[in-house]
Amino acid sequence: MSSLAGALAGALRERGVAEPAASLLAEIGIAVFRLSFERWVSGPRERELRELMRESLAEVRSLTTEAGNRATAA
């Protein structure tokens, strides 16, 4: 997974994403994929992997928004 994250970060850099954002986004993407895949293979196969990935990404967005709101309120 770390080599995949490295390749993803490299592709992001090639598309103009600066560091450390490229590496951070790559790691988040890998985490979203890994957790979604684990949910997909361990649960009932009633839902598609892409649906689980969208939910995981929405969780990341919610958590970062929440953290940002707390930081600005402090």
| Per-residue tokens: 48 | 């598609």
**Comparison of pLDDT for 42 and 1, the residue scoring more:** 42
Query: Which tokens sit at 38?
Result: 């684990």
Query: In the 8-state DSSP scheme, what is residue 74?
Result: -
- pLDDT reported for residue 27: 96
pLDDT tier at 58, thresholds 50, 70, 90: very high
Counting beta carbons within 10 angstroms of the beta carbon of residue 17, is it exposed (0 to 12), middle (13 to 18) or buried (19 or more)? Answer: middle
Question: Between the CA of residue 25 and those of 10, 34, 54, 60, what are the distances in Å?
Answer: 11, 14, 15, 11
